[in-house]
């Protein structure tokens, strides 16, 4: 009996040891950078194509939205389209948030709350804190991007309208209501310099255009939107998506009239990609 008991005890000990040595299944990782880009581009597409590199990450987010009752199964496809945007807005509202915090764009806090027990969040993108710069309100991410563009230009740029300015300038169409938005003075600039300013802004991650009086009720200026700023207004992230799709960011949806550059986000620029 002693031998049998010892053998049984040994078997149990081995089984417990094997279980203890088996790690818990790791949660999938959702890259916020990739999801953010898809959230800007996909709703502006004329089809259901996928933003390169984002499909698998968006799919995990959509599965979580479906599990919480915000998204129908038919839209769980890796394309961050208008239905997914609406679902994400409703998720944000369910947290008791309002205003710019319900823009339908996945921010760090909302993604982490959605992912509890389902996925982890990597590739964090932060807008930083709001600051006063040149007498205008912007965030620290936008300021860093602007300074990087100025360093490439070898000159300082003057901001005429900043961010977080709801209702400030009617002609802006709400693009400055949230973060990442800048209007820049072109006073004293030749046309060649204006184009070069737009180019350098684009090179560091802005969707930027030289706006002309012939295009709308405004004077000559440069309009810039920091791509992937999670505090963007709805109108602003529409412009970011249009920029990536080769459009001019205006209501007419015309072709981009700015200089051609390799489109990169600020985070990609910082990594030297």
- Which two structure tokens, joined as six digits, stand for 76? 């769980």
Residue with tokens 């968006």: 58
Judged on CB neighbours under 10 Å (0-12, 13-18, 19+), 144 is: middle
Outline which parts of the chain fall under CATH 3.30.1380: 130-270
Decide if 222 contacts 146 (C-beta within 8 A): no
List of residues 6+ apart from 249 with CB closer than 8 A: 207, 209, 223, 225, 238, 239, 242, 243
Residues 181, 156, 263, CA angle at the centre, nearest 5°?
50
Output the pLDDT for position 76.
Answer: 98
Output the pLDDT for position 25.
Answer: 79
Output the pLDDT for position 23.
Answer: 53
* H or E element at residue 143: helix 140-153
CA distances from 182 to 61, 201, 221 (A): 30, 11, 10
Output the pLDDT for position 24.
Answer: 60
Query: Which among 127, 131, 125, 100 is positioned nearest to 111, based on CA atoms?
Result: 125
Residue with tokens 């709801």: 166
pTM of the model as a whole: 0.89
Instruction: Provide the phi-psi class of 224: left if phi over 0, else alpha when psi is between -120 and 50, else beta.
Output: beta
List beta partners, residue 209: 223
Query: Which among 55, 64, 75 is positioned nearest to 114, based on CA atoms?
Result: 64
- Which two structure tokens, joined as six digits, stand for 100? 């710019």
Output the pLDDT for position 230.
Answer: 95
pLDDT digits over 110-149, tens only? 999 999 999 999 999 999 999 999 999 999 999 999 999 9
Residue with tokens 């945007």: 85
Cα separation, 47 vs 62, in Å, equals 18
Look at residue 232 and give its three-state secondary structure: coil
Output the pLDDT for position 17.
Answer: 45
Judged on CB neighbours under 10 Å (0-12, 13-18, 19+), 123 is: middle
CATH number of 29-122: 1.10.101
Outline which parts of the chain fall under CATH 1.10.101: 29-122
Compute CA 150 distance to the chain's CA centroid, rounded to the nearest angstrom.
23
Neighbours of 244 (CB within 10 A): 17
Q: Which residues, given as ranges, of the chain have pLDDT below 70?
A: 1-24
- Which two structure tokens, joined as six digits, stand for 60? 């995990």
Torsion angle of C-alpha atoms 197, 199, 202, 208, degrees rounded to 10: 60
Residues 240, 242, 248, CA angle at the centre, nearest 5°?
105
Instruction: Answer yes or no: CATH 3.90.920 is held by domain 130-270.
Output: no
Radius of gyration of the chain from its Cα atoms, rounded to whole angstroms? 24
The pair phi, psi for residue 138, each rounded to 5°, is -140, -175
């Amino acid at each position: 009996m002693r031998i049998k008991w010892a053998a049984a005890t040994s078997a149990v000990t081995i089984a417990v040891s094997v279980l203890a040595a088996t790690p818990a299944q790791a949660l999938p990782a959702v890259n916020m950078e990739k999801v953010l880009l898809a959230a800007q581009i996909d709703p502006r597409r004329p089809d259901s194509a996928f933003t390169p590199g984002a499909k698998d990450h968006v799919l995990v987010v959509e599965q979580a939205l479906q599990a919480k009752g915000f998204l129908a199964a038919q839209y769980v496809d890796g394309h961050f389209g208008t239905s997914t945007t609406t679902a994400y807005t409703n998720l944000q509202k369910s947290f008791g948030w309002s205003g710019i915090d319900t823009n339908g764009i996945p921010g760090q806090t909302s993604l982490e709350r959605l992912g509890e027990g389902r996925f982890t969040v990597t590739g964090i993108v932060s807008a930083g804190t709001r600051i006063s710069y040149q007498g205008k309100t912007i965030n620290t991410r936008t300021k860093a991007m602007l300074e990087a563009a100025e360093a490439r230009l070898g000159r300082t740029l003057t901001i005429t309208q900043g961010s977080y300015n709801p209702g400030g300038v009617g002609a802006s169409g709400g693009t400055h209501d949230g973060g990442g938005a800048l209007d820049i003075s072109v006073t004293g600039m030749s046309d060649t310099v204006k184009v070069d300013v737009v180019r350098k802004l684009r090179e560091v991650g802005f969707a930027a255009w030289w706006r002309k009086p012939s295009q709308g009720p405004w004077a000559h200026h440069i309009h810039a939107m920091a791509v992937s700023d999670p505090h963007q207004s709805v109108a602003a992230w529409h412009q970011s998506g249009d920029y990536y799709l080769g459009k001019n960011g205006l209501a007419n949806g015309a072709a981009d009239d700015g200089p051609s550059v390799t489109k990169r986000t600020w985070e990609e620029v910082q990594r030297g990609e």
